[in-house]
C-alpha cells in the first residue's frame, strides 16, 4: 500500500506501508530533498538484512516528526528512520516499528490503514 505522509513539514509521496519490514527507511535522495541538517544524523553501524540475506549499509538514522492523515483527522509522531542509499521507486518505507507505535491496522484488500487519533477518533488513510 502506497500513501503520502508529511515529514519535517514536507509532503512525501510514494511512501510504502510494509508490514513485513522491521525498520522504517528514508532513502538518501529523499533525505537530501527534504533539506534536513546533516547534524541530525546519528551513527548506525548495523547493516539492514533483506529477506534474501543481502546486506545494505546505512548512513545512520534520523528522528523526524511524521504526520499520517490529513488534519483534522491526522496523527503526528516521531519516527526513527534508517538512512539508506539504494535504488528504489519509493521515498520512504514505513515498517512495523511505526505501525505498532500508531496502533495501525492495515487492510490490503481495502487499500486502507486505520489507527486511533489523538482525539480518540479512528483515522482512516487510503492508498494513493
66-122 pLDDT, tens per residue?
Answer: 999 998 899 999 999 999 998 899 999 999 999 999 999 999 999 999 999 988 899
- Say what the pTM is: 0.94
Quickly list DSSP for 74-97: EEEEEEEEEEE----S-SEEE-HH
Domains and CATH numbers, the chain: 2-126 (2.40.70.10)
Cα–Cα distance between 96 and 5 in angstroms, integer? 16
**Cβ(38)–Cβ(61) under 8 Å?**
no
Where on the phi/psi map is residue 51: left (φ > 0), alpha (ψ -120 to 50), or beta?
alpha
∠ CA(53), CA(56), CA(61), 5° rounding? 130
Amino acid at each position: 500500500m502506497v500513501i503520502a505522509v508529511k515529514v519535517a513539514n514536507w509532503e512525501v509521496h510514494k511512501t510504502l506501508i510494509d508490514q513485513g519490514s522491521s525498520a522504517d527507511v528514508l532513502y538518501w535522495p529523499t533525505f537530501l530533498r527534504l533539506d534536513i541538517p546533516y547534524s541530525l544524523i546519528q551513527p548506525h553501524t548495523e547493516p539492514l538484512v533483506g529477506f534474501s540475506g543481502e546486506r545494505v549499509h546505512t548512513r545512520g538514522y534520523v528522528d523526524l516528526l511524521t504526520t499520517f492523515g490529513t488534519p483534522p483527522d491526522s496523527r503526528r509522531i516521531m519516527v526513527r528512520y534508517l538512512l539508506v542509499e539504494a535504488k528504489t521507486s519509493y521515498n520512504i518505507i514505513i515498517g512495523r516499528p511505526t505501525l505498532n507505535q500508531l496502533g495501525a491496522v492495515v487492510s490490503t484488500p481495502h487499500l486502507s490503514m486505520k489507527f486511533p487519533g489523538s482525539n480518540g477518533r479512528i483515522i482512516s488513510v487510503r492508498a494513493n
